[in-house]
């Protein structure tokens, strides 16, 4: 009779790591452990292939159906809009939602996920990987639980991804700037260590190539996606007179860029062209309204929730799926700013008193 392979337990992890079961439990639940102990526990978990028995815990405790949603920063505008849609979709499907902020830290993400699995609290996970590089979230492929990632795809069996077509939307918006007459459209971009950042940068490049133009690499600046970084990059592009229009690659970079333009006395849509990826209700504050890419937050959330629920229920037997959703591109006269006298004529016409 063949010997049945035993399933590793938390006691095995503790034995291999040379620490107590309590130390392992606290660490995998997100608690503190000495760096040496943490390394030993991680190594033991990896070597043993340890996986908490979530289904067994559910059958024993009778706990309600629950999904975990892990966000890089709960205060991030994009994360907040997605989270709102996810909560609504999961509640309609009969699932409670546990929200976990991992502060854009790969190490904390790993601990938070293992903590949820160890406690048996969740039946499935949704992870927003917007701010992570590919190698920082690749370990998700080994998480043995229904899983959906949003923003950055993960090509792994049993892992579904929901991704916006960032490249196409960026190409269309930057293309509108070039078609309006601009020859020097600068990029205020994110560091290209994430899928989202690379795709938006490629869309900027595509717009030039599509029109037979050389890609002006010197006009593409990259930094952390913060308001201060956006302000600094916009200042560099404008102060050296290298651009007539700017494409900001996300919400926070746009806010920083707009602050710089206002400080310099440049009117968006008049003295300089401007467009941004992300529109969270501030674009129409300007005259003319800003040209923007609006992400379909509700569709992203609904798609992710539907995928995860089907995986949990076992009604989807495909190895994995990448759902590509399209964003809405809104082009306004803001792309025409900086086109010399014609732009000022447009401004005058816009503000001409109307007969009543």
| pLDDT (0 to 100) of residue 62 | 47
| pLDDT (0 to 100) of residue 111 | 83
| pLDDT (0 to 100) of residue 315 | 81
| pLDDT (0 to 100) of residue 6 | 67
3-state SS record for the chain: CCCCCCCCCHHHHHHHHCCCHHHHHHHHCCCCCCHHHHHHHHHHHHHHCCCCCHHHHHHHHCCCCEEEEEECCCCCHHHHHHHHHHHHHHHHCCCEEEEEECCCCHHHHHHHHHHHHHHCCCCEEEEECCCCCHHHHHHHHHCCCCEEEECCCCCCCCEEEEEECHHHHHHHHHHHHHHHCCCCEEEEEECCCCHHHHHHHHHHHHHHHHCCCCCCHHHEEEECCCHHHHHHHHHHHHHCCCCCEEEECCHHHHHHHHHHHHHCCCCECCCEEEEEECCCCCHHHCCCCCEEEECCHHHHHHHHHHHHHHHHHCCCCCCCCEEEECCEEECCHHHHCCCHHHHHHHHHHHCCCCCC
Residue pLDDT tens, the chain, 356 long: 444 456 677 788 888 999 887 787 767 755 667 888 888 888 888 888 776 544 444 444 445 588 989 898 888 888 889 999 999 999 888 888 888 888 888 888 888 887 766 566 788 899 998 888 888 888 888 887 889 999 988 888 888 999 999 999 999 999 999 999 999 999 999 998 889 999 999 999 999 999 999 999 999 999 999 999 999 999 999 987 889 999 999 999 999 999 999 999 999 999 999 999 988 777 777 888 999 999 999 999 999 999 999 988 888 777 788 999 999 999 999 999 988 644 444 444 554 444 43
pTM of the predicted structure, to 2 decimals: 0.76
| pLDDT (0 to 100) of residue 59 | 43
| pLDDT (0 to 100) of residue 320 | 85
- Can you name the CATH fold of 166-295+328-350? Rossmann fold (3.40.50)
| pLDDT (0 to 100) of residue 340 | 60
| pLDDT (0 to 100) of residue 40 | 87
User: CATH 3.40.50.2300 spans which residues of the chain?
Assistant: 166-295+328-350
């Amino acid at each position: 009779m063949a010997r049945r392979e035993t399933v590793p337990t938390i006691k095995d992890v503790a034995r291999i790591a040379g620490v107590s079961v309590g130390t392992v439990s606290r660490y995998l639940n997100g608690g503190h452990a000495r760096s040496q102990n943490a390394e030993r526990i991680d190594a033991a978990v990896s070597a043993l292939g340890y996986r908490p028995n979530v289904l067994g815990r559910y059958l024993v405790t009778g706990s309600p159906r629950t999904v975990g949603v892990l966000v890089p920063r709960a205060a991030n505008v994009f994360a907040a809009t997605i989270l709102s849609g996810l909560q609504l979709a999961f509640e309609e499907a009969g699932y409670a939602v546990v929200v976990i902020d991992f502060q854009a830290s790969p190490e904390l993400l790993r601990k938070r996920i293992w903590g949820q699995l160890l406690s048996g609290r969740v039946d499935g996970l949704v992870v927003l990987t917007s701010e992570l590089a590919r190698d920082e979230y690749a370990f998700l492929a080994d998480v043995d639980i229904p899983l959906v990632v949003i923003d950055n795809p993960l090509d792994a069996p049993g892992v579904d991804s929901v991704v916006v077509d960032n490249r196409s939307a960026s190409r269309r918006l930057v293309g509108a700037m070039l078609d309006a007459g601009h020859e020097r459209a600068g990029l205020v971009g994110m560091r290209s260590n994430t899928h989202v950042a690379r795709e938006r940068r490629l869309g900027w490049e595509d717009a030039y190539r599509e029109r037979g133009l050389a890609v002006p690499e010197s006009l593409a600046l990259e930094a952390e996606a913060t308001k201060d970084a956006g302000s600094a990059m916009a200042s560099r592009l404008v102060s050296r007179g290298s651009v007539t229009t700017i494409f900001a690659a996300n919400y926070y970079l746009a806010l920083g860029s707009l602050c710089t333009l206002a400080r310099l006395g440049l009117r968006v849509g008049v003295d300089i062209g401007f467009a941004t990826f992300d529109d969270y209700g501030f674009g129409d504050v300007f005259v003319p309204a800003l040209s923007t890419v609006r992400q379909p937050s509700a569709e992203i959330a609904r798609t992710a929730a539907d995928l995860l629920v089907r995986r949990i229920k076992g009604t989807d037997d495909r190895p994995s799926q990448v759902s590509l959703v399209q964003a809405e591109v809104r082009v306004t006269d803001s792309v025409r700013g900086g086109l010399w006298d014609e732009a000022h004529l447009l401004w005058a016409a816009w503000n001409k008193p109307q007969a009543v």
